[in-house]
Amino acid sequence: MKDAESLKDYQHVRLLAIRSLFEIVEQSSEGTIIVDHDAKIVWMNERYARRFGLDSAAQAIGKPCESVIPGSLLREVVSTGRPILLDMLDTPKDPLVVMRLPIQDDQGEIIGAIGFALFDQLRSLSPLLIRYQNMQAELASTRSLLQARQAKYSFSNFIGTSAASLEVKRRARRSAATDSPVLLLGETGTGKELLAHAIHAASPRANKPFVSVNSAAIPEALLEAEFFGTAPGAFTGAERKARPGKLQIAQGGTLFLDEIGDMPLALQSKLLRVLQEKEFEPVGSNQVIRSDIRLIAATSIDLEAAVRKGSFRADLYYRLNVLPLRVPPLRERLDDLPALCEAILDELRLGAGHQHHELDDGALALLASHAWPGNIRELRNVLERAALLSDEPLLGAEALRAAIGTLTPLPNPTKTSVSRRGPEQALDFHSAREAFERELIGQALAEYAGNVNEAARRLGLGRSTLYKKMAALGFSS
């Protein structure tokens, strides 16, 4: 009995709610219309009738809805039984935001439809539309930012099948499966950043941001703000709103620190805290932010020597040196030259619209005799210059020799020196001294990857003296 009374109460409350809803919407809307199962008008309020040019609503009764309201879709609602909750209806005066609902009898059969004109001014919806547009713009911006922060390279972009190349890729793939820091060591131009991208792309964080920072390219005064971000008004000239740093942008993903050996000591200690405590504070803020990043660092300098000199913190070095990965210079993987040259020439042809170029055996032999102090970056530069200067699709040794300029010979202890030349190769004193200096300086530059300061120290010369000799001998600085 109590259940029956509850059910009766529910039905009564439901009917009251339906009646109240109809009355509220009908009174507050710009117009209401009801049609039967043939889409003929059975009722229409006076406001709606006057909007469509009628003197009274009685004139609309019995007429097809389309004859009174051009563009009405109430017939579609009656025939399909599906509501059209929000739609635009064009009228001679102003567009209307309308809602159309089917009407059912007690057996659930469709017997007609009801339509409400909710708004006659679109600005009534402007707060909702503006909020929706802002959300769409923010979502598009986030997607664009995330897409821009994705890894650009995979392991397939690290070209080479030599033993040295295969070993590097093997170790890099193993490092991708962990969250431990990776330290990429190698000369400039060997492809350290490419490997960093590839490690991220093969890691569980691949769908998260990949953020790259060159520690040597940012002024020291701005490095801390660049890394940790700033609080509103943290310093004179700062933005009034908070500015996220690279650590925040890289949350959940990978932070790649290139040339970490050039990072100032003060920032090294703060980076060490991030690695150990997994937290940091933006500049000018007391807020502690939890850090969830995977760190990959790279350098072309000898970090152990930097630690001994005191220019790099030993504790940070040990924290970074968990998974060291030495990227071999090009002169140690000359077997990869044919594949590298083919890939670079194909890329140049597709990217700049050049004709397709190939190298003959003489050109490859010449390339194999060069020490490549600039590594892959220098190789690309030479091939692009040769392709631009040559009208022939087949590049020979002469075209490559002109593109390289001064050839830096490969270090070779067994190579015949100037003093052991035969009589037919005899040189005068000045030519012999020039050849010896060129060979000696070339070997020092190759040994230190083109670093003039280190080469000068190795040769026992002042930096300015070495620069003068390099200019006289035709070395590019």
Average pLDDT over the chain, rounded to an integer: 82
Contact between 360 and 342 under an 8 Å Cβ cutoff? The reply is no
Each residue's pLDDT tens digit, 246-293: 999 999 999 999 999 989 998 999 999 999 999 988 888 888 889 999
Least confident of 39-48, 213-222, 260-269: 213-222
- How many CA atoms lie within 13 Å of 458's alpha carbon, on the beta-carbon side? 16
* pLDDT bracket for residue 124 (50, 70, 90): low
Bridge pairing between strands 84-89 and 96-104: antiparallel
Residue 123: predicted pLDDT: 56
First to last CA, the chain: 100
pTM of the predicted model, to two decimals? Answer: 0.59
* pLDDT bracket for residue 355 (50, 70, 90): confident
What six digits make up the tokens of 218? 């940012």
Each residue's pLDDT tens digit, 309-326: 999 999 999 999 999 999
Contact between 112 and 43 under an 8 Å Cβ cutoff? The reply is no
Question: 301: how many CB neighbours lie within 10 A of its CB?
Answer: 20
Residue 150: predicted pLDDT: 74
Question: 257: how many CB neighbours lie within 10 A of its CB?
Answer: 24
Measured CA distances, 402 to 208, 377, 391 (Å)? 45, 17, 14
What DSSP character marks residue 355? P
In what helix (H) or strand (E) does residue 150 lie, and over which residues does it extend? none
- Residue 34 has phi, psi (to 5 degrees) of -125, 135
Residue 145: predicted pLDDT: 52
> pLDDT at residue 345 above 50?
yes
Each residue's pLDDT tens digit, 129-160: 566 566 666 665 555 555 556 778 899 999 99
Residues 6+ apart with CB under 8 A from 228: 245, 247, 270, 280, 281, 282, 283
What six digits make up the tokens of 399? 């075209």
- Residue 379 has phi, psi (to 5 degrees) of -60, -45
Please give the Cα distance from 296 to 158 (Å, whole number). 17
All structural domains of the chain, each given as residue ranges with its CATH number in brackets, are 24-125 (3.30.450.20), 155-232+244-328 (3.40.50.300), 330-405 (1.10.8.60), 412-477 (1.10.10.60)
Q: Is 201 helix (H, G, I), strand (E, B) or coil?
A: helix
